[in-house]
Amino acid sequence: MYYVPAMQDDNPYIRKVIQLSREMLILADEGQAAATDDGCRLLFGIVQDCAYKIRLEAEREQRSHQWDGGRQEP
7-54 pLDDT per residue, tens: 454 689 999 999 999 999 999 999 999 999 999 999 999 999 999 999
pTM tops 0.85 = no
Q: Is residue 23 part of a domain?
A: yes
Segment 56-69 shows an average pLDDT of 84
Number of structural domains found in the chain = 1
What does the pLDDT read at residue 55? Answer: 98
Which residues lie closer than 8 Å to 34 by C-beta, 6 or more apart?
none
Gap between the Cα atoms of 30 and 51, Å rounded = 14
Q: Is residue 46 part of a domain?
A: yes
pLDDT at 74 over 50: no
- Structural domain harbouring 26: 12-67
Which residues lie closer than 8 Å to 8 by C-beta, 6 or more apart?
65, 70
Q: Is residue 73 part of a domain?
A: no
What does the pLDDT read at residue 64? Answer: 86
Q: Is residue 42 part of a domain?
A: yes
